[in-house]
Amino acid sequence: MSPDDFTQRFADMRVPIAKFLYRRVEATEVDDLSAQVFEIAWRRGGAVTVGEELPWLYRVATNLVANHRRKNARAQHLLAAIVAPDTSPSAESIAIADIALADAWARLPATSRQILALTALDGLSICETAVTLDITANAVSVRLNRARNLLRVALAESA
């Protein structure tokens, strides 16, 4: 794939991927992870089906975020043995601390949070979410319905 082909195919996807990463990692990490996503796209772009570039990039970004979190968890574990842990809340947790949604969201299973985040926060369609998670569209619909119901119940309990 030539640089021009790559730019034409993936240029419009830089902002959605950056927004996706901003919601999942520290702001200082977004540029590096975004660069890694597009480096992988450059190396493997020919293997991506035309029209499925964005869900494929979301899957790559999801995997990079998971790797990043594992790496950070190991580093935090080592730092905890040396230094007292930082107990100050993140800016995100401060912003939503007083909202009942924060409590309800925290009580949701990780799979429910992931489905809701991809569809509601990232704006992915059922089909794009299915490609991102490597499951069927029907499975996404079922999981999304369950997640919405769980969130509804959790919000009612928080109120």
- Residue type at 117? A
- Tell me: do 100 and 30 sit in the same domain: no
| Residue span of the structural domain in which 132 resides | 88-159
Cα 151 versus chain centre, distance: 19
In a shared domain, residues 79 and 93: no
Q: Could you tell me if 59 and 72 lie in one domain?
A: yes
Residues 107 and 57 in one domain: no
Find out whether 110 and 142 touch, Cβ atoms under 8 Å. no
Of the candidates 43, 59, 86, which is a domain's last residue?
86
Do 70 and 116 lie in a common domain?
Answer: no
Give how many domains the chain has, as a whole number.
Answer: 2
> Are 157 and 102 found together in one domain?
yes
Dihedral over alpha carbons 88, 94, 100, 103 (to 10 degrees): -30
> What pLDDT is recorded for position 50?
80
What is the C-alpha separation between 124 and 132, in angstroms, rounded?
9
Residue 159, pLDDT above cutoff 90: no
**77 plus 8 within the same structural domain:** yes
- Residue ending a domain, among 64, 86, 108, is 86
Q: Residue 72 burial (CB < 10 Å; 0-12/13-18/19+)?
A: middle
Same domain, 45 and 110: no
Interatomic CA distance for residues 87 and 28, integer angstroms: 19
> Which residue, among 58, 42, 60, has the nearest Cα to 4 in the 3D structure?
42
Mean pLDDT of 18-41: 91
State whether 32 and 16 are in the same domain.
Answer: yes
- What confidence tens digit (pLDDT) does each residue in 121-135 have? 899 999 999 999 999
Last residue of a domain, one of 70, 86, 102: 86
The CATH number linked to 125 is 1.10.10.10
What pTM, to 2 d.p., does this model score?
0.56
Claim to verify: residue 73 and residue 115 sit in the same structural domain:
no
| pLDDT score for 97 | 46
